[in-house]
């Protein structure tokens, strides 16, 4: 790790900064809500003196969040939340142009990833912005004494919140954590439209495949799955959905998709996308019956949705045929199974993650969650919290205004009617 200009950093190549700066500024054009927050933070400086760690995908959009936090006075360190999602030019620019230290390198080993998590804890943060809960989980497991200093944390994604709730149930979560993912202005848009578009972007950039006319299997019909299914249909794919939740499965049926088990879908699919947040949802027995050339990828948070250990055991050695594209040849049939992005989030591994316009709202939630934790310091119970609903409304209103759109307001007569029960048929 190096020592200047930002305190300690570990990036691929600081000379990449000029390209990163241009791209960060390009993303900013699509992030008007976050820009307004940055300007207000700059005037109020309510985060002055705060030590903050952000474990996030190091993308152009995250850079704009980091700028907003710095404008508010926070002293931040950024690390990657996934070994494959870092944009090296962005990491370099944050260090060189904004003096914000970053420890993140695209393609870093798991050991380096963990070393960066330790560097984040060595930074002794008051607030942790987490994406997947690796920093919070490591803090609780390995440095319990340091938890006393934590004002609170924020969590970006569904999987991280599942982990936080498990920590809360186990009685080990000793500080408040804001479930940013659960804000409506986050998951309605980021998980659905962001993942919907960027997952297909990742698949297409990695393979240049035509989606029209292909059987595309979406495993998991939650917020992300709905977006992937919707956008895949828009590109002409024949979409099949698999689920374990009967309500989500019926929803997929009513949305016009074929629903079946993964065992039934495995021999039919040309392309498989997992978005469940669950483990081994495509397993050895499914790979075994896939068509020759079937493409398999994941857009869920961790790289364990595909059982790649089982796939490796039942295949000859995997061959890299293009960047982010590995071909496994099955011993039983000779069929080839193509795995994208090593089973890591394909939208961040092979593309650039969500478009800035959608991250504008997600990261407005992050910035306002940090401010909320500071304002409510010492008053929030330990455990998982939602941001107050007014914040969601405010973010949506600012976004509409930025888009140049106006909506109606209730008349006094309508407000009164909606609060009454006397008048009926």
Ligand X SMILES: NC(=O)c1ccc[n+]([C@@H]2O[C@H](COP(=O)([O-])OP(=O)(O)OC[C@H]3O[C@@H](n4cnc5c(N)ncnc54)[C@H](O)[C@@H]3O)[C@@H](O)[C@H]2O)c1
**Burial environment of residue 310 by CB neighbours within 10 A (0 to 12, 13 to 18, 19 or more):** middle
Q: Tell which one of 71, 96, 211, 281 touches ligand X (CB under 6 A).
A: 281
128, 356 Cβ separation under 8 angstroms: no
Binding residues for ligand X restricted to 53-82, rule: CB under 6 A: none
311, 323 Cβ separation under 8 angstroms: no
Q: How far is the CB of 156 from ligand X (least distance, A)?
A: 8
Question: Does 180 help bind ligand X (rule: CB under 6 A)?
Answer: no
Question: Does 347 help bind ligand X (rule: CB under 6 A)?
Answer: yes
Question: Does 187 help bind ligand X (rule: CB under 6 A)?
Answer: yes
Question: Is the Cα dihedral 40, 42, 48, 54 positive or negative?
Answer: positive
Interface stretch with ligand X, choices 32-40, 223-231, 252-260, 334-342 (CB under 6 A): 223-231
Question: Does 377 help bind ligand X (rule: CB under 6 A)?
Answer: no
Interface stretch with ligand X, choices 22-30, 204-212, 244-252, 395-403 (CB under 6 A): 244-252
Q: Tell which one of 9, 113, 193, 221 touches ligand X (CB under 6 A).
A: 221
Residue 221 makes CB contacts below 8 A (sequence gap 6+) with: 229, 241, 243, 245, 248, 249, 251, 252, 257
Question: Does 248 help bind ligand X (rule: CB under 6 A)?
Answer: yes
Question: Does 158 help bind ligand X (rule: CB under 6 A)?
Answer: yes
Q: Tell which one of 98, 113, 175, 223 touches ligand X (CB under 6 A).
A: 223
Task: Name beta bridge partners: 221.
Answer: none
Q: For residue 222, give Cα distances in angstroms to 54, 153, 227, 241.
A: 26, 25, 9, 11
Question: Does 244 help bind ligand X (rule: CB under 6 A)?
Answer: yes
Give the orientation angle of helix 88-98 with respect to helix 60-71, to 10 degrees: 20
Q: How far is the CB of 233 from ligand X (least distance, A)?
A: 17
Question: Does 260 help bind ligand X (rule: CB under 6 A)?
Answer: no
The DSSP code for 403 is: T
Interface stretch with ligand X, choices 47-55, 215-223, 317-325, 389-397 (CB under 6 A): 215-223
Task: Quote the CA–CA distance of 276 and 174 in Å, as a whole number.
Answer: 28
Task: Quote the CA–CA distance of 111 and 41 in Å, as a whole number.
Answer: 36
Site residues, ligand X (CB under 6 A): 157-159, 187, 191, 195, 219-225, 242-245, 248, 275-278, 281, 299-301, 345, 347
């Amino acid at each position: 790790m190096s020592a200047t200009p930002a305190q300690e950093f570990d990036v691929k190549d600081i000379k990449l900064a000029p390209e990163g700066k241009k791209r960060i500024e390009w993303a900013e054009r699509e992030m008007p809500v976050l820009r307004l927050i940055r300007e207000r933070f700059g005037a109020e400086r309510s985060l002055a003196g705060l030590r903050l760690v952000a474990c996030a995908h190091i993308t152009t959009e995250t850079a704009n969040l980091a700028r907003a936090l710095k404008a508010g006075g926070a002293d931040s360190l950024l690390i990657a939340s996934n070994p494959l999602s870092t944009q090296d030019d962005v990491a370099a620019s944050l260090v060189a142009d904004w003096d914000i230290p970053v420890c993140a390198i695209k393609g870093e080993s798991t050991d380096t990833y963990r070393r960066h998590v330790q560097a984040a804890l060595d930074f002794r943060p008051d607030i942790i912005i987490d994406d997947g809960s690796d920093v919070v989980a490591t803090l609780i497991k390995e440095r319990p004494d340091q938890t006393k200093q934590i004002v609170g944390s924020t969590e970006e994604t569904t999987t991280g919140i599942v982990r936080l709730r498990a920590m809360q149930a186990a009685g080990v979560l000793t500080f408040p954590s804001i479930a940013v993912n659960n804000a409506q202005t986050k998951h309605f848009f980021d998980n659905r439209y962001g993942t919907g578009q960027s997952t297909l972007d990742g698949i297409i950039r990695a393979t240049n495949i035509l989606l029209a006319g292909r059987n595309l299997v979406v495993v998991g019909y939650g917020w992300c799955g709905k977006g992937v299914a919707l956008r895949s249909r828009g590109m002409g794919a024949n979409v099949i959905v698999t689920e374990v939740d009967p309500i989500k499965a019926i929803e997929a049926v009513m949305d016009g998709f074929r629903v079946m088990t993964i065992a039934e879908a495995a021999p039919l699919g040309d392309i498989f996308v997992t978005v469940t947040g669950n483990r081994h949802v495509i397993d050895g027995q499914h790979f075994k019956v896939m068509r020759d050339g079937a493409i398999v990828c994941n857009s869920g948070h961790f790289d364990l949705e595909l059982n790649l250990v089982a796939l490796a055991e039942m295949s000859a050695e995997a061959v890299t045929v293009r960047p982010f594209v590995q071909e496994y040849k099955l011993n039983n049939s000779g069929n080839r199974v193509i795995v994208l992005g090593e089973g890591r989030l394909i939208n961040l591994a092979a593309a650039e993650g969500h478009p800035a316009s959608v991250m504008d709202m997600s990261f407005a939630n992050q910035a306002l969650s940090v401010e909320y934790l500071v304002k409510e310091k010492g008053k929030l119970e330990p455990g998982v919290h939602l941001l107050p609903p007014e914040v969601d409304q405010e973010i949506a209103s600012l976004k509409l205004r930025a888009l140049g759109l106006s909506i109606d307001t209730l008349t006094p007569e309508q407000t009164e009617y909606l609060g009454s029960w006397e008048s009926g048929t």
